[in-house]
Amino acid sequence: MLVAQNIGFTIIALMMIVGALRVVTTSNVVHAALWLVVVLAGVAAQYLLLAAEFVAVTQVLVYIGAVMVLFLFGTMLTRSRIGRQGDLNNSYWKLGIPVALIVFAAMALALANSFGTEKMPSDAAVVNTQQVSDQIFGPYLLPFWALSFVLLAAVIGAIVLARKD
């Protein structure tokens, strides 16, 4: 069981890393969006491995369903031609490589020192939706209300910004 989990994790993780690298290196905006789907689906699969069913389903619905359509519409509305195009990187893009490597080195050092070879609890039960909703509508009710207003404000703001007048 544990071996199967580790094999699954490795395959999905490699897929996600390749997808993420293609998102930031490809020279076609639509291809970047489609590679992003690979990464987001991989994240949903990792949630399943982490016994978080409801978060995985939400990830698929919200990210792959809604956010991705938004990205494709954004690409469509802001590009006269969809296809390969040269300069998607800015002139100092090489600066990004050392920045990312330094950030990763710092995080890797901190993670290796703090968690080492600590294992996940192997007897963890799958968290069902009832437990999640008990948390949302119990101790975290106030942030839930705040989040409702954030979404309302975002919807109104997006309409106000994007409409033609």
Partner 1 sequence: MLVNQFLFLAAILFCIGVYGVVARKNAVLVLMSIELILNAVNLNLVAFSLRNGSVDGQTFALYVIAVAAAEVGVGLSLVLLIYRNRRSISLDDLSEMKG
State in angstroms the smallest separation of the CB of 10 from partner 1: 9
Q: Which is nearer to partner 1, 83 or 101 (CB)?
A: 101
Which of 62/83 has CB closer to partner 1? 62
Nearer to partner 1, 66 or 83 (CB): 66
Phi and psi torsions of 127, nearest 5°? -80, 120
CB atoms within 10 A of CB 27: 13
Q: Three-state SS for 54?
A: helix
| Least distance between partner 1 and beta carbon 81 (Å) | 13
Shortest gap between Cβ of 106 and partner 1 (angstroms)? 9
Amino acid at 7: I
Q: Is 46 helix (H, G, I), strand (E, B) or coil?
A: helix
**Which class for 42: exposed (0-12), middle (13-18), buried (19 or more C-beta within 10 A)?**
buried
Whichever of 84 and 95 has its CB closer to partner 1, that residue is: 95
Q: What are phi and psi of 15, to 5 degrees?
A: -60, -45
Q: Which amino acid is at 8?
A: G
Nearest distance, CB of residue 102 and partner 1, angstroms: 9
Q: How far is CA 8 from CA 15, 28, 49, 106, in A?
A: 11, 30, 8, 27
In the bound complex, what is the minimum distance in angstroms from residue 65's beta carbon to partner 1? 10
